[in-house]
Amino acid sequence: MSHHDVSYLAPKENWRKTALSWIFTIDHKKIGVMYLFAVLFAFFLGGVFALMVRMELWAPKVTLPSGEVQGVAFDSLPWFGGAIEGNTLYNHLFSLHGTIMVFLFIIPSIPAALGNIFLPIMLGAKDVAFPRLNLLSWYVYLLGGFFALVSLMSFGNETGWTFYTPYSTATEYGSVTAMVLAAFILGFSSIFTGMNFIVTVHKLRVPGMGWFDMPLFIWAIYATAVIQVLATPVLGITLLMLVFERTMNIGIFDPAIGGDPVLFQHFFWFYSHPAVYIMILPGMGIISELISVHARKKIFGYRAIAFSSIAIAAISFLVWGHHMFASETAIANAIFSALTFFVAVPTAIKVFNWVATLYKGSIVINTPMLYAMAFLFCFTIGGLTGPPLATLATDIHLHDTYFVVAHFHYVMMGGTVLAFVGGLHHWWPKFTGRMYNEKLAMLGCVLVFIGFNLTFFTQFFLGSEGMPRRYATYVEEFQMLHRLSTMGSWILGVGFLVHLGVFVASIAAGRPASRNPWGGLTLEWYTESPPIEHNFPHEPVLTHGPYDFDTVVPPHCDPKDYPLPDPKEVEKFSH
Amino acid sequence: MTHVSTSTEDLKPHERYVPASHWRNAYDEADGAKLGMWLFLSTEILLFAGFFCAYAVFRMLYPGVWADASHYYLDWRIGGFNTLVLLLSSFTVVLAIRGAQTNRPAMTNINLIITIICALVFLVLKLGWEYYPKWVHDELPGGNFAYHSHSILEAGGYVPGSHDNIFLSIYWIATGTHGVHVLIGAFLLTWCLWLNMKGFYGPKHYTSLENVGLYWHIVDIIWIFLFPLLYLV
């Protein structure tokens, strides 16, 4: 047995060699696992800020400490002049929540962690196309995280995650420059990952795997990678100009010396609108896997789902103007509004196909399937609250209210985060080699689902009644809804803590996982759990499609782990 | 066994090149690397697209300033000469790749050296004859810009407009970012020269040389757009 045949997690001869084997690894699985730890840490950090934001909104008045009750720590910082407003501190909290969640957690979450671990295995490859570039992308991510942390230590930013000019160029608070640099650097990490994945999908598919034999997760990651490569550079140059503006006063975005602040908005959304599809598309890919595997049914409309991923990627570049209905001409608004509705078409195609896959499937209720269903519920709400925001007449009313906040969180959290946690449970046995406690994980899922809906559904009402976003205070009529939302955030927090406990218990004392605990058909279920260093002892031979549950008995699958459907029932419905 | 090992030691590095273990063969590896490079180049184009967009927006806002400021602050002769220098270097980098393809390392060496010299000439002209005089005359971007009486006198009646600073902002950040790319290119070409001297490039393996060549072309093409837009409007 050569050293390539042992688990990628197996320790080396001594601890120093083990540490070095992780620090200098070019193994996509190890890089993915390191990314996973980092993004989960960022998720925790952003989550803490979110809980603080919700706490502040418990009462209508400013509850954060204000000028008079300053601690020593605040007084010593020069840019406050010895005093800080509770309002400012609130701006600070929601900005940090947004910036960390978007740039450090949600953009790298699925592609860089789960994508890195599973994309090459699902393609039957030994590694990604450029393993060293992959390692570089991880260290660039760390460098970006370091800058974010430096900024955090010196009070970060209170510009919101959008860094709108001219406020972001003028504000003296904290260290906006470091945070903008962090986002700029993290963009490179994202570009490198995207380039790597595109080339891997093009060049390293196992012989016999055509484009339409790929798992749908790969299609989604591929579409994401295209956006990462084509949109992120524009953010890069925008943020670079913002840094120049702050450090060298170049004035491009500064109206005082002839610059144009709206130009910043165009640049920013030209990236950041496609970026929300960088965030959601991989989640959609995970859902395709979860639903097909845990309903043991061939995915309905494979090509429609695959092409809709590409369609979403293409349309994403044409709709950035709908973030700027308040600062554009009427004609631009009309065009962007019309184009925005097109996004609903491929998205709805996906949702209908997932529901059709479930129809008469042999559905097993476990954590991944619960998360898939929670995704369908929440994401559909998130999706359907999009058209009112794309419609000019209603958007004028809803613009910059909690309705937007709720819509965004229903798509990003109810979409991406639920899919991410579901995918984490789905692939957990594969990449850790351990099973987790199904009952407790399902409890966590139920708590997250209840907490999430309580937190954000209330915000739709707040928004349509006129509660603007990003305010620390509100009129007393809103108090009940705000308190419900805050209580929801606690349930949400407890739910995630349950998941954390389940994962820790699984690593410490989980039952060893078999090769194929769920009875999946994609290539990752053919290798060991956890996979060996080169993924497969020999190049795998592809004998069936990724979802041929009607014709193929899943390999290495123990029916005791996962009951197979009654053959008579299958027979009844197959004609 | 001994016989085999001596014979591979006689071979040059490029002749005993084996692809990394996750590639099926050297052809796939080179092809993948080239695809990756093209993707990277597309990100470079989009990066500079930001500058070109900003250029277009402000030229639309201040058309008069654009025409006057360009003629007043920039010398088309220096820009034009630099364009020729870069065009020549693009030609020589192609010859360097040709040298590797046809197994003529000397041809690769000499052409890489010419390319590197071109890069340095470009940077020296840029720094010494463009950036430095602008720096001392406070012809700086945005808020750092300052009017000097000498400017008005030397201009033969041209009075700097109130938005010259924005033109200079675009000029500085676009050409500055491009200049950094030229500098990086010079380092990459030097690295290729070093590898070629150690015999790493030959007909069967010249991936990194070809990719650096592609990068050098993009640096050249971006300048070909910057030059008329900034110097000749």
Cα angle at A517 between A424 and A540, to 5 degrees?
A: 90
Q: Does B147 touch chain A (CB under 8 A)?
A: no
B1 pLDDT tier (thresholds 50, 70, 90): very low
CA A546/CA A569 separation, integer angstroms: 22
Q: Does residue B7 lie within any of the structural domains?
A: no
Helix (H, G, I), strand (E, B) or coil at A554: coil
Single pTM value for the model: 0.92
* Token pair recorded at residue A389: 């925001």
Residue A252, chain B, CB below 8 Å: the answer is yes
Residue A69: the pLDDT is 38
Q: Measured between alpha carbons, how far is A372 from A500 in angstroms, rounded to an integer? A: 19
Both structure tokens of A313: 């990627």
Q: Which residues of chain A neighbour B35 with C-beta distances below 8 Å?
A: 198-199, 202-203
B23 to chain A: closest CA residue: A204
State the count of interchain CB pairs (< 8 A) between A and B: 117
Alpha-helical segments (H) within A465-513: 479-509
- Residue A317 near chain B (CB below 8 Å): no
In this prediction, residues B49-71 reach a mean pLDDT of: 89
Q: Which residue of B has its CA nearest to A121?
A: B22
Give the CA distances from residue A28 to residues A86, A125, A140, A203, A454, in Å, rounded to whole numbers and listed in that order.
45, 11, 16, 16, 38
What CATH number does the domain containing B28 carry? 1.20.120.80
CA–CA dist A385, A401 (Å, integer): 13
Contacts of A538 in chain B (CB under 8 A): none
In this structure, what DSSP letter does residue A161 have? Answer: T
- A197 → chain B, closest CA residue: B36
Q: Are A473 and A430 in contact (CB under 8 A)?
A: no
Tell me the torsion sign for CA atoms A3, A9, A14, A15: positive
Nearest to A229 among B28, B43, B48 (CB): B43
Q: Is residue B19 assigned to a domain?
A: no
* Closest by CA position to A139, among listed A38, A276, A251: A38
CA gap A26, A538 in Å, rounded: 20
CA dihedral B109, B115, B118, B122 (to 10 degrees): -140
Q: CB-CB: which of B42, B47, B173 is closest to A236?
A: B47
Chain A hits for B60, CB-CB cut-off 8 Å, are none
Please say whether the beta carbons of A452 and A488 come within 8 A: yes
B16, part of any domain:
no
Q: How far is B49 from chain A (nearest CA, A)?
A: 8
User: Is B42–A229 a contact, with Cβ atoms under 8 angstroms apart?
Assistant: yes
Is A254 in the B-facing interface, judged by CB distances under 8 Å?
yes
CB neighbours (10 Å) of residue A558?
A: 12
Tell whether B50 lies on the interface with A, counting CB pairs under 8 A: yes
DSSP secondary structure letter of residue A416: I
Give the Cα separation of A349 and A261 in Å (integer). Answer: 38
Angle between helices B26-61 and B63-73 (to 10 degrees): 110
B18 inside domain:
no
Interface check A261 vs B, CB under 8 A = no
Mutation site, B47, B147, B207, interface A, largest A CB count within 10 A = B47
Residue in A199, A233, A251 nearest the CB of B32:
A199
Which of B60, B61, B169 is most worth mutating to test chain A (most A CB atoms within 10 A of its CB)?
A: B169
Distance (Å, rounded) from C-alpha A382 to C-alpha A347? 11
Helices (H), A249-296: 261-294
Nearest CA in chain B to A264: B54
- B142 and A250 within 8 Å at the Cβ level: the answer is yes
- Whether residue B195 is contained in a domain is answered as yes
Q: How is residue A4 annotated by DSSP?
A: G
Which homologous superfamily is A30-573 in?
Answer: Cytochrome c oxidase-like, subunit I domain (1.20.210.10)
Half-sphere exposure of A124 (CA within 13 A, CB side): 22
- From CA A87, how far away is CA B142, in angstroms rounded? 32
Eight-state DSSP code of residue B129: I
Q: Which amino acid makes up residue A403?
A: F
Contact: A248, B49; criterion CB under 8 Å: no
Residues 191-220 of A with CB under 8 A from B: 191, 194-196, 198-199, 202-204
H or E element that contains A466: none
Measured in degrees and rounded to the nearest 5, phi and psi for residue A76 equal -75, -10
Check if the beta carbon of residue B126 is closer than 8 Å to that of residue B81: no
Question: CA-to-CA distance for A325 and A481, rounded, in angstroms?
Answer: 28
The verdict on a CB contact (< 8 Å) between B62 and A195 is no
Q: Is the pLDDT of residue B135 over 90?
A: no
The reply to whether A251 touches chain B by the CB within 8 Å rule is yes
Close Cβ partners of B117 (under 8 Å, ≥ 6 residues apart)? none
User: Total structural domains in chain B?
Assistant: 1
Residue B10 burial (C-beta neighbours within 10 Å; 0-12, 13-18, 19+): exposed
User: Would you state the structure tokens that stand for residue A343, as one six-digit string?
Assistant: 């996004």
Q: Is the distance from CB of B73 to CB of B164 less than 8 angstroms? A: yes
Closest-CA residue of A relative to B55 is: A252
Q: Which one of A236, A258, A263 has the shortest CB-CB distance to B163?
A: A258
CA separation for the pair A242, A331 (Å, rounded): 28
Amino acid letter for position A406: A
Quick count: other Cβ atoms within 10 Å of Cβ B35?
Answer: 16
- Between helix A438-464 and helix A418-432 the angle, nearest 10°, is 160
Domain ranges of chain A: 30-573
Integer Cα distance of A547 and A88 in angstroms: 52
3-state percent helix, strand, coil for chain A, nearest multiple of 5: 70, 0, 30
Query: Does B188 map to a domain?
Result: yes
| Alpha-carbon span A289 to A368, nearest angstrom | 10
Residue range of the domain that includes B178: 24-231
Residue type, A238: T
Sign of CA dihedral A508, A511, A514, A519: negative
The single-letter code of the amino acid at B36 is G
- Interior angle at CA B229, CA B225 and CA B231, nearest 5: 110
Using an 8 Å CB-CB cutoff, list chain B residues near A127. 22
In whole angstroms, what is the distance from residue A180 CA to residue A95 CA? 12
Put simply, whether B28 touches A (Cβ < 8 Å) is yes
A249 touches chain B (CB under 8 A): yes
Higher per-residue pLDDT: B9 or A149 = A149
State the amino acid at position B48 in one-letter form: F
Q: Max CA-CA distance within chain A? A: 77
Name the A residues in 332-371 with CB < 8 Å from any B CB: none
Q: What is the pLDDT along chain A (575 residues), one digit of tens a residue?
A: 455 678 998 888 899 999 999 999 999 999 999 999 999 999 999 999 999 999 999 988 877 765 543 444 444 444 444 446 678 888 888 999 999 999 999 999 999 999 999 999 999 999 999 999 999 999 999 999 999 988 888 777 888 899 998 888 888 777 888 999 999 999 999 999 999 999 999 999 999 999 999 999 999 999 999 999 999 999 999 999 999 988 888 888 988 888 889 999 999 999 999 999 999 999 999 999 999 999 999 999 999 999 999 999 999 999 999 999 888 888 999 999 999 999 999 999 999 999 999 998 889 999 999 999 999 999 999 999 999 999 999 998 999 999 999 999 999 999 999 999 999 999 999 999 999 999 999 999 999 999 999 999 999 999 999 999 999 889 999 999 999 999 999 999 999 999 999 999 999 999 999 899 998 999 999 999 899 999 999 889 999 999 998 888 888 877 666 655 666 666 665 55
Interface test with A, best of B43, B48, B140, B167 (most A CBs within 10 A): B43
pLDDT reported for residue A175: 84
CA distance A110 to A112: 6
Angle (CA) B108-B114-B116 rounded to 5° is: 100
Task: Say if CB A427 and CB A36 are below 8 A apart.
Answer: no
Tokens of A193: 């990952």
Could you tell me if residue B205 is inside a domain?
Answer: yes
Contact A204 B51 (CB under 8 A): no
What count of Cα atoms within 13 Å lies in the side-chain half-sphere of residue A344? 17
